[in-house]
Structure 1
Amino acid sequence: MLVSKRKQAAWLKAVGLSMAVALVSGCSTSSSLPSVSDEQRLAQPDYEYVIGAGDSLQIFVWGNEELSGSVPVRPDGKITTRLVEDLEASGKTSTELAREIESVYSRYIKNPVVTVMVNGFVATPEQQVRIVGAGVTPLSIPYRKHMTLLDLMVAVGGLNEFADGDKAVLVRSFDGEQTSYGLKLDSLLRDGDIGANLALMPGDIVIIPEAWF
């Protein structure tokens, strides 16, 4: 029996996603993560945002408006200001970067006071949450405090019509080791099962396969 090109493409895509799950998850697997209550989610430990390549920064140098302005963080993680070229920004907090700019500017002006604000957020890969596969809009977004699986699915527009949401996998790293967990996205999004929701962590990857035809 001949198989349609559409079914062949879907089968190949599903195989590719299954291989991706195996590659990123390694040998450590688990059936599912426990759902969390709102109290548990809000009690998660704080995390501090660090600047990433692609972020947009607003730099204020108090009393020196000519040195203030907006700068992008280049793909190499560095910025160029009006006094300094190739200053490393990626991986630092805005406060750490402000203190470093003050140290550099002190060679040119007396007692500089600098404030750095992040306007456009991209984040480092370690602080992003990524979704691949059969979401409506697969993408990477910066993790934000108290972020949940439902928040992520809203951000990507939910599942596409071919998604097998209850076969989705979350890949999470602990001390350099990756572990995969089964997810129930169909139950969460289509059946309203809030028990299938869970708290996300920076660096999480959600892989959604398509259904096999």
Structure 2
Amino acid sequence: MINVMKAVKILAIVITLLWIGCIGNVVAAEAGESALGPGDALRVFVYGHPDMTTETKVSETGKITFPLLGEIVVDGLTPSAAERKIANLLESRDILRKPQVMIVTASLQSQMVSVLGNVRNQGRYPIEGKRSLTEILAMAGGVVPEGGELVVLIRADGNKFIKEVIDIQEMVRAGDLSPDLIIQSNDFIYVERAPRFYIYGEVQRAGAYRLERNMTVIQALSVGGGLTQRGTERGLKIQRRDTEGNLQIFAPKSSDLVQPDDVIYIKESLF
């Protein structure tokens, strides 16, 4: 009998310590909590009252159903604020004295961000707590080799949309993470394809190639393997569209910068 009582006391102490640990983790994370919304799956615990343990989902109207309390509006509240609201309701209605409520978010379907474009795994991702742009890109598997350095972020602001273009490579080069924005629910992230140029004619490897930053014409020729024996730089031409879409054809210098979608053509030498 004494051993049974000791076991019960030890179990009670363990449960209390676990509860305190959970409460401590929740308090520490509260500053970075995401607000609850329709579709979020929750588990609600009341310390010392396992019969009140409830698994519920936030309805389209932003409510959950809880034993003895009925429907409770939690839309827009953080889990910690929802805990306090439930505890206050239990106490104000003389159901429990000083109840300790804990909410565990099984899934936050209302806090999602869309990631598309040239990433390894396109899709919708949950944002629990504060997540930066680079963290979300990492969750999506990172940028694929065909991806570019520019990331487009579109965010709703009331009745309008705001577009931000973030240069990831420049951010890293400058060592300035201020452009690494904190992502919000329903943000849309699109990773652009890397710019390309095209080279054909008397080169070793004609084709389409990734345009590196500040690439010159001579560097572009080297990417194509250089000229063939019949090729000549005197016959080098570039086809380029201007801002109005008109095609321009001109003879560039070897030090000129190549622009996105340029077509470099190497003519055959006549001698």
Q: TM-score, normalised by structure 1?
A: 0.57
1:170 Cα offset (Å):
1.6
CA contact (8 A) 1:129 1:143 kept: no
Amino acid of the structure 2 residue aligned with 1:57: L
Q: How far apart, in 1, do the equivalents of 2:118 and 2:68 lie?
A: 47
SS of alignment partner, residue 60 of structure 1: strand
CA contact (8 A) 1:130 1:141 kept: no
Identity in percent:
21
- Corresponding residue for 1:60? 45
The CA deviation string for residues 160-198 of structure 1, in whole angstroms up to 9 with x for no partner, is: 4554x334312245676533222335x38xxx7565762
CA contact (8 A) 1:56 1:120 kept: yes
Q: How far apart, in 1, do the equivalents of 2:75 and 2:107 lie?
A: 12
Pick the structure with more helix per residue: 1
1:72 Cα offset (Å):
3.1
- Corresponding residue for 2:102? 116
1:134 Cα offset (Å):
3.2
Aligned pairs (5 A) from 1:182-193: 182-185=165-168, 187=169, 193=173
1:85 Cα offset (Å):
3.5
Amino acid of the structure 1 residue aligned with 2:34: Y
1:141 and 2:141 equivalent? no
CA contact (8 A) 2:33 2:79 kept: no
1:83 Cα offset (Å):
2.5
Change (3 A) 1:95 1:72: same
Q: TM-score, normalised by structure 2?
A: 0.47
- Corresponding residue for 2:64? 79
Amino acid of the structure 2 residue aligned with 1:184: D
Change (3 A) 1:195 1:103: closer
Q: How far apart, in 2, do the equivalents of 1:134 and 1:83 lie?
A: 50
- Corresponding residue for 1:157? 141
2:73 counterpart (85, 88, 109): 88
Change (3 A) 1:86 1:176: same
Identify the structure with bigger relative contact order (alpha carbons < 8 Å, sequence gap 6+).
1
Q: How far apart, in 1, do the equivalents of 2:184 and 2:110 lie?
A: 10
Q: How far apart, in 2, do the equivalents of 1:200 and 1:104 lie?
A: 34
SS of alignment partner, residue 190 of structure 2: strand
Aligned residues: 161
Pick the structure with more strand per residue: 2
How large is the RMSD of aligned CA atoms in angstroms?
A: 3.5
Q: How far apart, in 2, do the equivalents of 1:136 and 1:80 lie?
A: 39
Change (3 A) 1:142 1:123: farther
Q: How far apart, in 2, do the equivalents of 1:143 and 1:166 lie?
A: 26
1:156 Cα offset (Å):
0.5
